[in-house]
Amino acid sequence: MNSLMNKLAKKMVPWASKMAANRYLTAIRDAFITIMPIIIGCSFCILINSVFLGKDHYFDQWFHFQGLELANMLAAVSSAGMSVMSLLIVYLVARNLAAYYKMDTTSNAVVAVVNFLVLTQFDTTPKLGEVIRTYYLGAAGLFTGFIAAFVSVEIMRKLGSIKKLQIKMPESVPAAIAKSFNGMMPIILTMLIFGLVRLCTNLAGKPLNDLIFNGLQQPLSALVTSPIGIVIIYILYMLLWGFGIHTGFIISAPILEPIFLVNLTQNAEKISNNAAAHNILTKPFTDSMMFMGGAGNMLALVIAIFIVSKRDDYRKIAKLGLIPSLFNISEPIMFGLPVVMNPILIIPMILTTLVGLGVGSLATITGFMGYTYVLVPWTTSPLLNAFLSTGGSWGALVTAAVVLVLSVLIYMPFVMVMNRTEKVEASDDEEK
C-alpha cells in the first residue's frame, strides 16, 4: 500500500505543483478571494429578503411588518454586487496577471475592462438610448471575462515590448504623463483588436458572450457537475490532499468555484424572484455537506477518535484539532495526526466526501432540504452553515447531521485499524 502511495505521489505531486504555480489559475484564484466578502454580503441581503422581509415572510407573520422599503434597499445592495461580478473579475484577474509579468497593473486592468465591454452587447432603446444589460456583466459573462482579461494582458505585453510602438517624451515631461504616452499605442491597438473581434461576432449575428456561454461555459459546467465528472474530481481532490497538497488552491478556487459561483448566483436570482432554484452544486453545498471540519470531513474523524481510539497521542491531537475543525480548519488534524501520507485514512476521506455529495444531492432533489443560495463564510460551523446557506431550511440541518453521523461511522473502523497498528509497532520495538 505504501509503495503504491509513493508511486502515485511521484506522478501526481509534480503535476499538482505545476497547477498551483500556473499564472492564469493563480490570477483567477486571487481574484475570487478578493471579491468573496462582497458576494457574502450580497448573499446575506438576499437571505434577509427571501426569509424575513416581504409578504408572507417571517416578519410579516410575526409582527405584520413587511419592510418593503428596507427590502428594496437590500435588493439594490445585492444587485449592485451580483450584477457586475464579471466586471470586477475582469479587473482583478487582469491586475493579478499584470503583476505576475511586472507590468503596470492599473492600466492593464482598466484596458481589460474596456475590452470586455467592447465584446459585450449593448441594446438601444428610444427612451434611454444605448444601454447594457447586467446579464452580461454578471455570472453569465464570467468565462468571457476570464478570456478578455488574459488575452488583453498578453497582447499588451507583446505590443509593449516593441520599441517602435513606444512614444518617448522629453525628460522635462512629468513621469506620469510620459508613462501614459509610452503605453498609448499598445493600448489603442489592443482595443482595436478586440473591436475587430466584436465586428466578426456582429457579422456572425451573435454576441461573443453568448457564443462562449453556450459553447464553453455551459458544457464545461455540465461536464464538471455531472454525476461521473464530480465524483472523479472529488476522488482526485482527496487523493491530492492525502499527499499533502492543498487542493483548495489548485482545483477548488480556480476551477470549481467559478462554476459553483455561477450556480449559486442563478439560485439566488431564482429565489429573489420567488422562483424555484435548480442548481445543487454550489460552494456552500460542498462546505456544508462534504467539508465538515475541512476537507475529508475532519470533524467526523475527530469524533471517531474520541469514540474508539485508545491511543493517547491520537486523542491528544484530536483535542487540539477539535476547536479548529468546528470552524472548518483541518490542518491540525491533517498534518498532526497525520492524515497526510496515511493510506489507512485516505480511503475514508474519499468515502465520506462522496457520501456527503450523494446524501446532500438526494435530499435536495427530493425536496427534503432547500437549495443553497446564500454564500456563508467557509469558517461557519458545520450544521449551522447548512441551515444558513439554504435560507433556514430545517431539512438541510437534519441532512447535515445525518451526513456527519454517517461520516463518523465510516471513520470508526479505520481508526480501530490504526489502534491495532500501535500494537504491531510496539511488538516490533520489543523485538529490536
pLDDT digits (tens, 9 = 90+) for 331-369: 899 888 888 888 889 999 999 999 999 999 999 999 999
Cis peptide before 126 (omega within 30 of 0): no
The pLDDT of residue 429 is: 45
The pLDDT of residue 363 is: 97
What the block records as the C-alpha cell of 306 is 474520541
pLDDT (tens digit, 9 = 90+) per residue, 159-216? 988 888 877 776 766 766 767 777 789 999 999 999 999 999 888 877 788 888 888 8
**CA distance to 157, 182, 187, 193, 391, per residue, from 169 (Å):** 21, 8, 17, 26, 59
| Per-residue H/E/C for 85-109 | HHHHHHHHHHHHHHHHCCCCHHHHH
Angle between helices 68-82 and 257-272 (to 10 degrees): 150
- Domain annotation covers residue 384: yes
**Which parts of 52-84 fold into alpha helices (H)?**
58-63, 68-82
The pLDDT of residue 291 is: 95
- Domain annotation covers residue 323: yes
- Domain annotation covers residue 414: yes
The residue to which cell 503504491 is assigned: 4
Burial class (CB in 10 A: 0-12, 13-18, 19+), 300: buried
Number of domains the chain contains: 1
Nearest by Cα to 95 from 107, 109, 85? 109
**CA distance to 232, 235, 246, 275, per residue, from 13 (Å):** 18, 15, 11, 44
- Domain annotation covers residue 197: no
The pLDDT of residue 103 is: 93
Q: DSSP letters of 118-187?
A: HHS-EEEETTTEEEE-GGGTTGGGHHHHHHHHHHHHHHHHHHHT-GGG--PPPTTS-HHHHHHHHTHHHH
The pLDDT of residue 107 is: 93
Number of helical (H) and strand (E) elements in the chain, helices listed first: 20, 2
Strand-pairing partners, residue 130, are 124
**Each residue's pLDDT expressed in tens, for the chain with a length of 432 residues:** 556 556 666 666 676 667 767 899 899 989 988 999 999 999 999 999 888 998 888 898 899 899 999 999 999 999 888 889 999 999 999 999 999 999 999 999 999 999 999 998 877 778 777 788 788 898 888 889 999 999 999 999 999 888 888 777 767 667 667 677 777 899 999 999 999 999 998 888 777 888 888 888 788 888 888 888 899 999 988 988 888 777 777 788 778 888 898 899 999 989 988 899 999 999 999 999 999 999 899 999 999 999 999 889 899 999 999 999 999 998 899 888 888 888 889 999 999 999 999 999 999 999 999 999 999 998 999 999 999 999 999 999 999 999 999 999 999 999 998 887 655 454 444 444
The pLDDT of residue 192 is: 96
For 324, list phi and psi in degrees, rounded to 5. Answer: -60, -40
The pLDDT of residue 248 is: 77
What the block records as the C-alpha cell of 238 is 482527496
pLDDT (tens digit, 9 = 90+) per residue, 53-77? 988 888 988 998 999 999 999 999 9
What the block records as the C-alpha cell of 365 is 432533489
Q: What angle do CA 214, 216, 220 make, to 5 degrees?
A: 110
Residue 380: DSSP 8-state: S
Under 8 Å between Cβ of 207 and 120: yes
- Domain annotation covers residue 394: yes
The pLDDT of residue 121 is: 81
Nearest by Cα to 209 from 90, 323, 63? 90
Q: What angle do CA 356, 360, 366 make, to 5 degrees?
A: 155
Residue 370: DSSP 8-state: P
Q: Give the range of the structural domain holding residue 390, as residue numbers without chain letter.
A: 1-22+226-432
- Domain annotation covers residue 382: yes
- Domain annotation covers residue 337: yes
For 406, list phi and psi in degrees, rounded to 5. Answer: -60, -40
- Domain annotation covers residue 272: yes
